[in-house]
């Protein structure tokens, strides 16, 4: 009997950038990677090229990102400072999710210790998201003829507005977003399926809504699923208002992973949001999502 192959994680230390006293803790990526270091192999992506970016972004926006220079209006929409280091981090993560998609199609699952920038639109950044890595990965696989249909399962606490807008006129891509209805973005885009949840929704109600929704996604028969597995739905998250426990989040992840396995749909996992006051807790939840998707033992507290 041959031993089981070690999982492959996609990550770059350059995902971690100094953006000052900001609610978005980029060091969570490095902390999550450190928790997984002994569990598998790591591959570092190269930065996304201009050609990559043009799959889903306007030329003017791609050129701004590549130049590493933004206007004050751009940074205001982005809600974070923009520097050449931030530009590189987002280009690396964009290519990282594309690499995860390639690996998912080859091996069944692609594990990205980063990504999930679902608020980035074709021509501008929003909500800490510069480049829409989710859309780029899906668009690349479609353009190459690797797949004919795809789905995005976005379970971040905030609606995946950028992804919905990018794929609005692409019926071959099913976009599903389940989010807290009262939160940003206050003017929401229309996904293929949107499920808006009430404030303080807890495990039982959340999982019931997910169970009702996932069959709709798989009726589409996706040949690739990209999962935005934000953990900002956790109770006490600084930018969220739902009330999921860590066990509830893991059960959420389990249902997505099992649905993909039953449908024989290759799965890409991206991390998305997570803003607990304790960044180690956020990193631990992200690592547990990736462990579960990789079929590794869960190490919950």
For residue range 6-27, what is the model confidence (pLDDT) as tens digits? 999 999 999 999 888 888 999 9
For residue range 152-172, what is the model confidence (pLDDT) as tens digits? 999 999 999 999 999 999 999
Q: What pLDDT does residue 300 have?
A: 60
- Give the mean model confidence (pLDDT) for residues 142-160: 99
Token code pair at residue 184? 């940003």
Q: pLDDT class for 78, splitting at 50, 70, 90?
A: confident
User: Three-state SS string across 147-163, please?
Assistant: CCCEEEEECCCCCCHHH
- Give the mean model confidence (pLDDT) for residues 98-102: 99
For residue range 276-285, what is the model confidence (pLDDT) as tens digits? 999 999 999 9
Q: Is 124 a catalytic residue?
A: no
Mind listing the domains of the chain with CATH numbers? 8-294 (3.40.800.20)
Ranking 44-53, 107-116, 291-300 by mean pLDDT, the lowest is: 291-300
For residue range 206-255, what is the model confidence (pLDDT) as tens digits? 999 999 999 999 999 999 999 999 999 999 999 999 999 999 999 999 99
Query: With 90 as the cut, is the pLDDT of residue 117 above it?
Result: yes
Segments of the chain assigned E as strands: 8-10, 41-43, 109-112, 150-154, 173-180, 193-197, 225-228, 267-270
User: Three-state SS string across 85-100, please?
Assistant: HHHHHHHHHHHHHHHH
Question: What global pTM score does this model have?
Answer: 0.96
Peptide bond into 56 cis (omega under 30): no
Q: pLDDT class for 4, splitting at 50, 70, 90?
A: low
Residue 259 to residue 251: CA distance in whole angstroms: 12
Q: What pLDDT does residue 1 have?
A: 38
- Give the mean model confidence (pLDDT) for residues 144-158: 99
Q: pLDDT class for 149, splitting at 50, 70, 90?
A: very high
Q: What pLDDT does residue 121 have?
A: 98
- Give the mean model confidence (pLDDT) for residues 110-128: 97
Mean pLDDT over each residue of the chain, to the nearest integer? 96
For residue range 172-214, what is the model confidence (pLDDT) as tens digits? 999 999 999 999 999 999 999 999 999 999 999 999 999 999 9
Q: What is the CA radius of gyration of the chain?
A: 17
Q: Which of 90, 103, 119, 220 is catalytic?
A: 119
Q: What pLDDT does residue 2 have?
A: 44
The count of other CB atoms within 10 Å of the CB of residue 59 is 11
């Amino acid at each position: 009997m041959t031993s089981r192959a070690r999982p492959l994680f996609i990550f770059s230390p350059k995902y971690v950038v100094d953006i000052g006293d900001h609610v978005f803790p980029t060091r969570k990526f490095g902390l999550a990677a450190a928790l997984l270091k002994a569990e598998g192999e790591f591959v570092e992506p190269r930065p996304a090229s201009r050609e990559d970016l043009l799959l889903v972004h306007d030329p003017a926006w791609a050129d701004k990102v590549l130049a590493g220079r933004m206007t004050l209006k751009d940074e205001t929409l982005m809600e974070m400072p923009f520097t050449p280091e931030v530009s590189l981090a987002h280009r690396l993560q964009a290519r990282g999710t594309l690499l995860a998609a390639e690996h998912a199609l080859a091996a069944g699952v692609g594990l990205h210790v980063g990504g999930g920038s679902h608020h980035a639109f074709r021509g501008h950044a929003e909500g800490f998201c510069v480049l829409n890595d989710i859309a780029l990965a899906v668009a690349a696989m479609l353009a190459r003829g690797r797949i004919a249909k795809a789905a995005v399962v976005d379970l971040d606490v905030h609606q995946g507005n950028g992804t919905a807008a990018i794929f609005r006129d692409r019926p071959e891509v099913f976009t599903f977003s389940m989010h807290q209805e009262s939160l940003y973005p206050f003017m929401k885009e229309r996904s293929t399926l949107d499920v808006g949840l009430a404030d303080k929704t807890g495990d039982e109600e959340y999982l019931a809504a997910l169970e009702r929704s996932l069959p709709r996604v798989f009726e589409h028969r996706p040949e690739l699923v990209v999962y935005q597995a934000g953990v900002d739905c956790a109770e006490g998250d600084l930018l969220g208002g739902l009330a999921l426990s860590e066990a509830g989040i893991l059960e959420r992840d389990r249902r997505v992973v099992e649905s993909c396995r039953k449908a024989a749909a290759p799965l890409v996992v991206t991390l998305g949001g997570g803003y607990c006051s304790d960044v180690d807790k956020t990193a631990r939840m992200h690592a547990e999502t990736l462990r579960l998707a990789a079929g590794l033992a869960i190490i919950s507290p």
